[in-house]
Amino acid sequence: MSNDDTEEEKFFRERYAQELQKKKRRPGAGSYFQGDEMAEERRNVSQQEGKTPGRRGEQIKQQEIDKEIVRRNRLQQQQQQQKTEKQNAN
């Protein structure tokens, strides 16, 4: 979260982050073009950003999409690591 966000921007950022966590990711969909909901959301935001450049809402959305993708990748790596450790223990 940016330190210079207004209260309204903070609220918007938090709400949007919650919405992103609800979006589904198709198993094995790592590519930008494979049709998962996160990729579709990024395409929609980028398209809107092209129509109305400089809008704070689209900037916040891009930042939150990036954070959610990183969060999901870290979670997936942790799950894979736990699975590997469990297999090595057996």
Instruction: Give a yes or no: residue 80 inside a domain.
Output: yes
Domain that holds residue 80: 7-89
Instruction: Give a yes or no: residue 31 inside a domain.
Output: yes
Instruction: Give a yes or no: residue 65 inside a domain.
Output: yes
Write out residues in the chain with pLDDT < 70, as ranges: 1-2, 25-35
Instruction: Give a yes or no: residue 11 inside a domain.
Output: yes
Q: Give residue 25's pLDDT.
A: 67
Instruction: Give a yes or no: residue 58 inside a domain.
Output: yes
CB 38 within 8 A of CB 25: yes
Query: What is the total count of domains within the chain?
Result: 1
Instruction: Give a yes or no: residue 25 inside a domain.
Output: yes
Q: Give residue 59's pLDDT.
A: 92
Instruction: Give a yes or no: residue 1 inside a domain.
Output: no
pLDDT in tens, 61-83: 999 999 998 998 899 899 999 99
DSSP string, 2-57: -TT--HHHHHHHHHHHHHHHHS---TT--STTS--HHHHHHHHHHHHHHHSTT-HH
